Amino acid sequence: MAPDADDAAGGSAPRRLFVYNGGFLTQRRLRRALALSGWQVRLGRPGPADTVAVWGRSPTAHRGERVAAKTGAGLMRVEDAFLRAVLTGRDGAPPLGFLLDRRGVHFDSAQPSHLEHLLATHPLDDAALLGRARDGIARLRRAQLSKYNAFDPDAPLPAPGYVLVIDQTRGDASVTHGGGSQALFDEMLAFAQIEHPGAEILVKVHPETRAGHRPGHFGSAHEDARTRLFADPVSPWGLLEGAVAVYTVSSQMGFEAILAGPRPRVFGQPFYGGWGLTADENPVPRRERRLTRAQLFAAAMILAPTWYDPFCDRLCSFEDAVAILEAEVFAWRSDRHGHVASGMRLWKRRPLQRFFGRWKPLRFEEDPRRASAKAAALGCPLLVWAGRVTPEHRAKRLLRIEDGFLRSRGLGAELIPPLSLVTDDLGIYYDPTRPSRLEHLIAASPELTPSDIERSRRLIRLIHDRRLSKYNIGRADLPDLPDGRRILVPGQVEDDASIRLGTGDVATNRDLLARTRAENPGAVILYKPHPDVEAGLRTGRIEDASALADVIVERTDPAALLAQVDEVWTMTSLMGFEALLRGKPVTCLGAPFYAGWGLTRDLGPVPDRRRARPTLEQLAHAVLIGYPRYHDPVRNAPSPPEIAALRLAEGRLPHPGLGNRLLAKAQGLLASRAHLWR
């Protein structure tokens, strides 16, 4: 919330907020954001100490305006914040944040709004705030995020060198109250054509016009030999970066043009005009301050909005709001054309449908040739479980799928559905014989921004403090452990692909234990069998483990165990990565995804191509934030990794159904036939 006491929520008791528009009652997200901001939505007649809420300058706003004027109540105007959702409100998408303004409304230049007040009077000189702003601009550009996000960032853009004229919807309040009119739009287009006689003129069509919801100010009558309407759903960032000039009346794209680089020529009076960052045809005389891009962004995106986290039902920071939007937008961009899925066991299909079928249902086809042909015919990606990819799986875009690294509370072999999955268009993380998408992310991780690193640091702290691991099972109470230098040796499933593909001379649990003992004769060796092996579901049991290990710790919580050891020796176990997150030295005798980057002692065959030297926070960002996808089973929606971590820590997870539990028991009786369900 903004720091201005006149506008920010204050006091412990909710203040009464009277409304006369049904949306304040029916839109749950709006009501929760208001309640969490200290407002109690009411019907009836307010008193002088109360406040009336209206939606911006909407057609129904006059109801509340009249009541406020008659009763002496205060007036608060509510509008969407500048990052909204994937789709528009008319497509049914709820907003991510709001502007709660008791001074005016940001697009109405007749009087100063709360946002204008911030821009005019707030010091905007705090180094931390401006650092957040610069990082925020970089993050939106990298993720290609805008107010509405139903576009493909990889869609082809026009050849650079055009002039961009931005249309808006006819009758929109931001036009009528921002000094706009049809005549002004016509004048703007004429200026663009006259001032750039040899250039192509692109008239950017508004997303709601493209969707058929509302008309714009330009139509086919405005096109000529070098002027054309442009409605392709491309990235606004890419479109702005290719423009030699940008013309707008009051569109938010003018604000984004400032962030993207081109200095927009502004014909109306939007909130971002008049601060020295635009060429203003109709400047607002009272706006005399000169601001930087970071200062403008800090006020508009960090200080002024009220951002809402629907996963935790709380108000949140700008950065948390971006993380939520990133997850939703990535899912839409990846899944909107649908997928054909192959190599998926029956029990996995329902969780996969939740992950990937939000926008268009998955089509399952087991036969590799038929699946490949169907994907080609539909022009969509082919999803294949990584361990079941065959040479007959051929597709223009083949994505290998595997479980993520914060998976569940329970084993996959017990048919517990995952909260995270990874998709890889290059290889798969556990196969060091070829590059993977994770390798590329790790190699590029030194280029992450300071806010990326801080986010990674917070996630590491959350995992450490909440004692999280991949499966989050086992007893937290440990047996008495001998004193001395304790080395943890995690057992693995010996027929696992990471062992087959990522090990050399040491490729069995017994060999790993023997090598660890031979090189550390005076240490206390703790051996932890793999949970799937303990459950009798996979291979890897050591009959004489007690001859090589001082203590065999069975059915133990990995996080509790890692807290009591000094280092870890492993082949390719994920526990090596979990140990790194907890600051423990790790020795690798294989080539897991986290080896070869300078953070582990590597005694195994590590690929030479792993040349980058990331920090732990950079590695963790690639592994836990950049690579996986997360799905929240509580809201049944794509989520950021932090939400998955909180669900695992706090227990708010649906339990598997009776069918899954019975099937898991049957698996235990048929452990030697694991290929039937893996």
Q: CA 646, CA 653: separation in Å to the nearest integer?
A: 10
What value does the mean pLDDT take over residues 479-497?
93
Backbone angles phi, psi at 279, to 5 degrees: -95, 105
Backbone angles phi, psi at 524, to 5 degrees: -90, 115
Q: Does 133 lie in the same domain as 72?
A: yes
Span of 171-180, 387-396, 521-530 with lowest mean pLDDT: 171-180
Is it the case that residue 2 has pLDDT exceeding 50? no
Backbone angles phi, psi at 380, to 5 degrees: -125, 165
Is it the case that residue 678 has pLDDT exceeding 60? no
- Residue at 341 is within a domain: no
**Residue 424 CA, distance from chain mean position:** 17
Q: Does 261 lie in the same domain as 301?
A: no
What value does the mean pLDDT take over residues 358-365?
95
CATH code for the domain of 531 = 3.40.50
Last residue of a domain, one of 606, 626, 646: 626
DSSP letters spanning 528-572: E--HHHHTTSSS---TTGGGT-SEE--SB-HHHHHTT-SEEEESS
Q: Does 301 lie in the same domain as 253?
A: no
51, amino acid identity: T
Q: Which residues in 614-647 are b (16+ Cβ under 10 Å) and which e? A: bbbbbbbbbbbbbbbbbbbbeeebbbbbbbbbbb
- Residue at 261 is within a domain: yes
Q: Specify the pLDDT at position 57.
A: 93
- Residue at 228 is within a domain: yes
Q: Does 621 lie in the same domain as 478?
A: yes
β-pair type (628-632, 637-639): antiparallel
State both tokens at 505.
């001379």
State both tokens at 619.
């590695």
Q: Does 109 lie in the same domain as 45?
A: yes
Q: Does 14 lie in the same domain as 112?
A: yes
Is it the case that residue 146 has pLDDT exceeding 70? yes
DSSP secondary structure letter of residue 234? B
- Residue at 349 is within a domain: no
Q: What is the pLDDT of residues 69-108, one digit of tens each?
A: 999 999 999 999 999 999 888 888 899 999 999 999 999 9
Q: What is the pLDDT of residues 634-661, one digit of tens each?
A: 999 999 999 999 999 987 676 665 555 4
Q: In a 10 Å sphere around its CB, with 0-12 CB exposed, 13-18 middle and 19+ buried, how is residue 675 labelled?
A: exposed
Percentage of residues in the chain having pLDDT higher than 70: 94
Number of domains in the chain: 3
Q: Does 2 lie in the same domain as 133?
A: yes
Q: Specify the pLDDT at position 12.
A: 60
Last residue of a domain, one of 313, 346, 365: 313
- Residue at 340 is within a domain: no
DSSP secondary structure letter of residue 655? P
Q: Does 500 lie in the same domain as 544?
A: yes
Q: Residue 557: which of 467, 442, 483, 486 has the closest Cα?
A: 467
Q: CA 323, CA 639: separation in Å to the nearest integer?
A: 8
Q: Specify the pLDDT at position 203.
A: 97
What value does the mean pLDDT take over residues 259-287?
95
Span of 310-314, 470-474, 488-492 with lowest mean pLDDT: 470-474
Q: Specify the pLDDT at position 576.
A: 98
Range of the domain at 564: 471-626
Contact yes or no for 456/621 (Cβ under 8 A): yes
State both tokens at 467.
């004692």
- Residue at 424 is within a domain: no
Non-local (6+) Cβ contacts of 467 within 8 A are 476, 557, 559, 560, 563
Q: Does 155 lie in the same domain as 132?
A: no
State both tokens at 406.
């914060």
Span of 262-266, 467-471, 667-671 with lowest mean pLDDT: 667-671
Q: Does 493 lie in the same domain as 538?
A: yes
Q: Does 305 lie in the same domain as 193?
A: no
Is it the case that residue 664 has pLDDT exceeding 60? no
State both tokens at 448.
């992450």
Task: Tell me the sheet residues that pair with 398.
Answer: 382
State both tokens at 221.
């009558």
- Residue at 358 is within a domain: no
- Residue at 93 is within a domain: yes
Is it the case that residue 23 has pLDDT exceeding 60? yes
Confidence of residue 534 (pLDDT cuts 50, 70, 90): confident
DSSP letters spanning 245-299: EEEESS-HHHHHHHHHS---EESS--TTTTSSSSEESS--TT------HHHHHII
Confidence of residue 125 (pLDDT cuts 50, 70, 90): very high
Rg of the chain over all Cα atoms, to the nearest angstrom: 29
Q: Does 108 lie in the same domain as 137?
A: yes
What value does the mean pLDDT take over residues 589-593?
97
Last residue of a domain, one of 602, 626, 650: 626
Span of 147-161, 356-370, 376-390, 470-484 with lowest mean pLDDT: 470-484
Q: Specify the pLDDT at position 355.
A: 95
Q: Give the H or E element holding residue 498.
A: helix 497-502
Is it the case that residue 490 has pLDDT exceeding 50? yes
Average pLDDT, the chain: 92
